[in-house]
Every structure is written in structure tokens, then in C-alpha cells.
Amino acid sequence: MSRLTAALTQAGAAHRPALVAYLCAGDPHPDTTPDAIVALADAGADVIELGVPFSDPSADGPVLQRASERALARGTTLRRALDMVQAARIRTAVPIVLFGYYNPLHARGAARVAAEAREAGVDGLLTVDLPPEESATLRDPVVAAGLDWVPLVAPTSTDARIARAAEVATSFVYCISVAGVTGAGGADLARAAVRAQAVRERTGRPVALGFGIKTRDDVARVAPFVDAVVVGSAIVQAMHEGGIAAGAALVRSLRG
């Protein structure tokens, strides 16, 4: 069992969903991203999702767009994000999933990304704009390198597409709570959680639910139905306003 799947299983054994905490590599600052990873893990994050900034984040809302812009302005690249993982890896065993858009990965080359990600201590990849039918070029070398591949399922996904996502998944399936961009408000989390549970039942894969989960109450509402919850924009905003300590405090409160 991969370290990523183990983290979900462990949380499940404690009758709670695993907490997946998102941060953008290089934000608030490239020098402190390893500290941020360690701090969020120490505060109770079971999995870290590390965003690789991109110039054209067309699936992100304003909070993560701005984070990406700040990180790029401070010189963050895919290679530097991998260095940040490597630096954090010495200090923590928390599973780390790289989260981003395809072009920076494409530019570096699939085989090289797989090798370097493994070398740096990355556990898995999630690429927003690579639906299953386009993902083989990157997924195959990544999985061959022993890393997990995390696909997305949306509220609009048909049964056939959900099955397809489950086929390419090696660990959990990431269910998006609402048709929209990251940070979207107004998700009907109760309904989304039930839908995610149906995905888990149909596919036999663990499921994570993300988009629009911001508070301890949100987590509590969906907890009975899912294996993991993803919190992104809220953590990024907290760290933007109050530094790493504020991010860690939010993670502690999300864990309850």
C-alpha cells in the first residue's frame, strides 16, 4: 500500500476523514515552503497537496490565482517546487501530492518529471487539465516510477467517466463538490458528500471531497461519507494574511 493510501486508511481507522491540506509552492515565499509543509503536517494534515504555480490557472478562483501569481513572481518553477519537497522530505513523512496544470510538466518531459518527482520524495500527481483520455503520456511513467495518480471526478461526470477515472486511479479519486473553480462558494456539501459516497461505492476506490470546504463545520458535515477532505483556498488565504502560523492554526481547527 502506498504512503498516500495508508494515510487515508489510518484516518479511517480513527473514524475520521483524512485532512488534505493544499498550499501553493512558493507562496507565501519559496524559502519557507518546506517549513510550511512541515508545519501543516505537524498541525494535523494527513496529506499535503502542493500546487505547482502556472501562468494560466484556468480552473482556479481568485485566491489560488493570486497565490500562483505571487509564487511565479518570486521565481517558483516546477524544479524549485521539487526542491522544496526534497527539503521538506528530510523533516516529515507526510505524503505529498503535486497538484497543477499540464504545461509545466509537459515542458519538462513526462519521463523526467516521473524520475525527479520520485527522487524528491513526491508521493503522487494530480493534473487538473488531464482527463483520463489524455493522461496516459504522463500517467504511465509516473505510475511506473511507483507514484500514485489521482484523477478528478466532477458533478457532471457520467457513470462511464466515473468508471474511467477509477481505472486510472491508483489510490483515491478526487471528487469535486461543485461545478466551478477552486474556492467556489455555495457548494451544497451535503449533496456533494452523498455523491462522493456513491462514487466510492461504485468504484471501490477511496474518495476525497474538495472545493468549497473551508471550516470545521464543513468538514463535520461531509465526514461520514468520504475518506478525505481537501481544504485549499482557505489555507492559502490564511497563510497569505497571517503567515505559516495562521495556516497551521486553521489546520488544527479543521482537525477539531
- Report, in Å, the least distance between residue 180 CB and another protein: 4
49 is catalytic: yes
Question: In what helix (H) or strand (E) does residue 23 lie, and over which residues does it extend?
Answer: strand 18-24
- Report, in Å, the least distance between residue 42 CB and another protein: 30
Closest CA to 243 of 66, 35, 84, 51: 35
- Tell me whether residue 203 is exposed, middle or buried, using C-beta atoms within 10 angstroms of its C-beta: 0 to 12, 13 to 18, 19 or more: middle
140 is catalytic: no
Q: Which amino acid is at 230?
A: V
What is the x/- site pattern for another protein, positions 118-137, by CB under 8 A?
A: ----------xxxx-xx---
- Report, in Å, the least distance between residue 136 CB and another protein: 9
Is 220 one of the binding residues for another protein (CB under 8 A)?
no
φ and ψ at residue 157, rounded to 5 degrees: -65, 135
Is 243 one of the binding residues for another protein (CB under 8 A)?
no
**Residue 88 burial (CB count, 10 A):** 24
Is 73 one of the binding residues for another protein (CB under 8 A)?
no
Catalytic residue, candidates 27, 46, 60, 218: 60
Closest to another protein by CB, 59 or 87: 59
Q: What angle do CA 64, 199, 50 make, to 5 degrees?
A: 25
Is 78 one of the binding residues for another protein (CB under 8 A)?
yes
Closest to another protein by CB, 92 or 127: 127
Give whole-number Cα distances, 51 to 22, 96, 159, 245, in Å: 7, 10, 29, 19
Is 2 one of the binding residues for another protein (CB under 8 A)?
no
